[in-house]
Structures are given as C-alpha cells and as structure tokens.
Amino acid sequence: MVHKKTPLVWFFFLVSRVNDLEEEVRELQLSQSEQEESEQRRSREMEMLARLEREKQLEVENYAIRYLWGLQNKIGQVGCLKQ
C-alpha cells in the first residue's frame, strides 16, 4: 500500500525545506563575507609589504648617494692636498 501524504503534511514538509534552504543561504552569505574580509586583509598586507619594500629601496639608494658623495669629497680633498 502506498501512503499518500495529505496536503497538511506536504505543507509542513515544504515549510521545513524552505527553512533549511534559507539557513543554507545564510551560511553561504556568512562564508562569502568572511572570505571577502580575508581577501581584503591579505590585499592590505600585500600593499603594506610593497610600501615597505619601496621605502627600503629608497633608504638603500639614499645611503649609496651619501656614501658616494662623501667618497667624492674625500677624493677632492686628497687632490687638493697633492697640488
């Protein structure tokens, strides 16, 4: 014998299924939101690392310029002493 579901049973089944699907949608939205936050945080970290690398490169270049300038001055002083 096949048991037929009454309209009321179908109604409660469908309400339950809709509730389950709504919960699944909420979980997916939360997961997506957390993933977006993680990607934004990673992007900010990468930007910060790039900025620090540029600053480091500028410091190295500035040091090299100061060193070469000081070296030129010393060479100039030695040249003046020879004359």
- 48 or 81: which leads in pLDDT: 48
| DSSP 8-class letter at 1 | -
What distance lies between CA 73 and its chain's CA centroid?
Answer: 46
Give dist(CA 29, CA 21) in Å, integer: 12
Residues 11-33 have pLDDT tens digits of 999 999 999 999 999 999 999 99
Q: CB–CB of 5/13 below 8 Å?
A: yes
Determine the pLDDT at residue 3. Answer: 60
pTM, full prediction: 0.57
- Give phi and psi for 24, each to the nearest 5: -65, -40
User: What's the one-letter identity of residue 67?
Assistant: Y
Q: Which residues contact 5 (CB under 8 A, 6 or more apart)?
A: 13
Residue 1 banded pLDDT, cuts 50, 70, 90: very low
Determine the pLDDT at residue 76. Answer: 78
Residues 65-83 have pLDDT tens digits of 999 998 888 887 777 766 6
Question: What's the count of helices (H) and strands (E) in the chain, helices before strands?
Answer: 1, 0
Residues 51-58 have a mean pLDDT of 97
Determine the pLDDT at residue 16. Answer: 97
